[in-house]
């Protein structure tokens, strides 16, 4: 009896275990059948399994672009650089400036002892006075002899002689007046004045020297009219004109904003360039003969790594977050070249969203599962 109970218990346990195993296998099979049934017939598959989800990265256009910068060698030249010479002769008795002195227009640079000119003026004034008396007398004689002639007491020849003397004397008075005006002019030039604001760059005279017209005393450079000079090809001049608002001259770590003053209407046949002269907003910062760089920005460029090709056409993919369908659209860039960046700020606004990676894995297939990630 005891053995029967044991055998019955063993058989029952075996049946329970076998039933549990059958249930487990059935559940696994059903689950496997359920997974396959969720695969959409349009979803790309590989070896019977859906392709993994693709990550597509997008970013704002203004985070991707770089400024298009032009940089060319340029030089500072003084528009006004004068050699100062005297107009009067004499001994230098005072010098007010040295090399490096800053002067303003009208400042006295040097004075000359012009006492000899005062003597010449006095002599001419005395001669003029004597000549006036002679002319006055000659005119009286003409009047007197004219009266005598009417009475038969004088001849026409006598009248003509006195008339000629009066005319000659009058002409001589003009010479004396001219001499006096010239002397007075030269007396004003006994003080050498600065013709414009500037800096004395050279000095060639000392106190006690005799100077005369034509001898260089100083070299004066006008620092208020320093200009930046650059030679550019005609197409670059057009770009500079369009972007002059951001053009700068840089030298020794400092920059100066510029305006185009003039474009010389002549082509250098060897270099195919034209000379452009630019004025500075702050010319005092421009050092004469300084060699620096003319820099300007001509828009924003999109690097070539963000440009793709579709059906022999270069362009970029834009993201439209409002689209309910495939939210990407191809934007062609007809002027783009392989491996080169392209100016784009005049074509698209900076806040548009551009696909930067991932879309090439699915192309235009909207059935492919993907997720969008914004670049940091």
Distance CA(341)–CA(306), nearest Å, equals: 9
Based on the fold, state whether residues 166 and 199 are members of the same structural domain.
Answer: yes
277 or 54: which carries more pLDDT confidence? 277
Based on the fold, state whether residues 266 and 326 are members of the same structural domain.
Answer: no
Quick count: other Cβ atoms within 10 Å of Cβ 278? 22
Report angle CA 290, 293, 297 to the nearest 5 degrees.
Answer: 150
pLDDT for 135? 93
In total, how many domains does the chain have? Answer: 3
pLDDT for 368? 63
Rounded to two decimals, the pTM is 0.55
Question: In which residue are the tokens 């604001």 written?
Answer: 197
pLDDT for 243? 92
Average pLDDT of the residues in 251-258: 90
Pick from 284, 299, 314: which residue ends a domain? 299
Query: Residue 284 sits in a domain of what CATH number?
Result: 2.40.30.170
β partners of residue 232: 274
Based on the fold, state whether residues 184 and 291 are members of the same structural domain.
Answer: no
pLDDT for 223? 77
Based on the fold, state whether residues 91 and 185 are members of the same structural domain.
Answer: yes
β partners of residue 157: none
Residue 106 lies in a domain: yes
Based on the fold, state whether residues 201 and 130 are members of the same structural domain.
Answer: yes
Average pLDDT of the residues in 287-294: 90
50 or 243: which carries more pLDDT confidence? 243
Average pLDDT of the residues in 8-31: 47
pLDDT for 20? 53
Question: What is the band of 312 on the pLDDT scale with cuts at 50, 70, 90?
Answer: confident
Distance CA(207)–CA(96), nearest Å, equals: 10
Pick from 268, 299, 330: which residue ends a domain? 299
Q: Which domain holds residue 238?
A: 69-79+224-299
Residue 232 lies in a domain: yes
Question: What is the band of 35 on the pLDDT scale with cuts at 50, 70, 90?
Answer: very low
Based on the fold, state whether residues 276 and 176 are members of the same structural domain.
Answer: no
Residue 90 lies in a domain: yes
Average pLDDT of the residues in 195-204: 92
Question: What is the band of 289 on the pLDDT scale with cuts at 50, 70, 90?
Answer: confident
360 or 314: which carries more pLDDT confidence? 314
DSSP conformation letters of 75-130: EEEES-EEEE--SS-EEEEEE---TT-EE-TT-EEEEEE-HHHHHHHHHHHHHHHH
Residue 6 lies in a domain: no
* Range in 3-12, 117-126, 138-147, 283-292 the model is least confident about: 3-12
Taking every pair of Cα atoms in the chain, the longest distance, rounded to a whole number of angstroms, is: 206
pLDDT for 367? 58
pLDDT at 72 over 50: yes
Based on the fold, state whether residues 229 and 209 are members of the same structural domain.
Answer: no
pLDDT for 16? 52
Based on the fold, state whether residues 207 and 185 are members of the same structural domain.
Answer: yes
DSSP class of residue 47? T
Question: In which residue are the tokens 């007075």 written?
Answer: 184
Q: Is 312 left (phi over 0), alpha (psi -120 to 50) or beta?
A: left
Average pLDDT of the residues in 319-330: 82
Average pLDDT along the chain = 84
Question: Residue 251's closest CA among 293, 296, 281, 280?
Answer: 293
Average pLDDT of the residues in 247-267: 93
Based on the fold, state whether residues 260 and 329 are members of the same structural domain.
Answer: no
Query: Residue 166 sits in a domain of what CATH number?
Result: 2.40.50.100
Based on the fold, state whether residues 195 and 132 are members of the same structural domain.
Answer: yes
């Amino acid at each position: 009896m005891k053995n029967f109970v044991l055998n019955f218990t063993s058989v029952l346990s075996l049946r329970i275990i076998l039933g549990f195993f059958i249930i487990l296998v059935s559940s696994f099979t059903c689950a496997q059948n359920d997974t396959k049934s969720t695969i959409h017939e349009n979803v790309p598959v590989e070896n019977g399994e859906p392709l993994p989800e693709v990550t597509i990265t997008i970013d704002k256009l203004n985070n991707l672009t770089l400024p298009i910068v032009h940089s060319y060698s340029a030089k500072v030249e003084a528009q006004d650089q004068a050699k100062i010479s005297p107009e009067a002769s004499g001994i230098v008795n005072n010098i007010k400036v040295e090399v490096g002195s800053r002067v303003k227009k009208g400042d006295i640079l040097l004075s000359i002892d012009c006492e000899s000119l005062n003597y010449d003026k006095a002599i001419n004034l005395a001669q003029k006075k004597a000549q006036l008396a002679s002319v006055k007398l000659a005119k009286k004689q003409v009047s007197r002899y004219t009266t005598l002639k009417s009475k038969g007491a004088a001849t026409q020849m006598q009248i003509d002689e006195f008339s000629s003397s009066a005319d000659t004397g009058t002409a001589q008075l003009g010479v004396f007046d001219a001499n006096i005006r010239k002397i007075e002019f030269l007396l004003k030039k006994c003080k050498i004045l600065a013709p414009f604001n500037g800096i004395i760059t050279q000095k060639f005279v000392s106190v006690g020297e005799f100077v005369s017209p034509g001898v260089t005393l100083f070299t004066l450079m006008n620092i208020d009219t320093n200009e930046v000079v650059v030679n550019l090809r005609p197409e670059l001049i057009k770009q500079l004109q369009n972007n002059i608002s951001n053009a700068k001259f840089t030298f020794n770590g400092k920059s100066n904003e510029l305006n185009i003053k003039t474009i010389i209407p002549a082509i250098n046949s060897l270099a195919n360039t034209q000379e452009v002269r630019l004025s500075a907003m702050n010319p005092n910062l421009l050092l004469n003969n300084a060699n620096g760089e003319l820099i300007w920005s001509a828009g924003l460029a999109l690097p070539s790594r963000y440009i793709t090709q579709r059906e022999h056409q270069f362009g970029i993919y834009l993201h439209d977050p409002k689209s309910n369908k495939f939210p990407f659209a191809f934007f062609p860039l007809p002027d783009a070249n392989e491996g080169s960046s392209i100016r784009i700020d005049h074509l698209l606004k900076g806040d548009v969203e551009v696909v930067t990676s991932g879309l090439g894995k699915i192309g235009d297939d909207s059935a492919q599962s993907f997720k969008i990630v914004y670049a940091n």
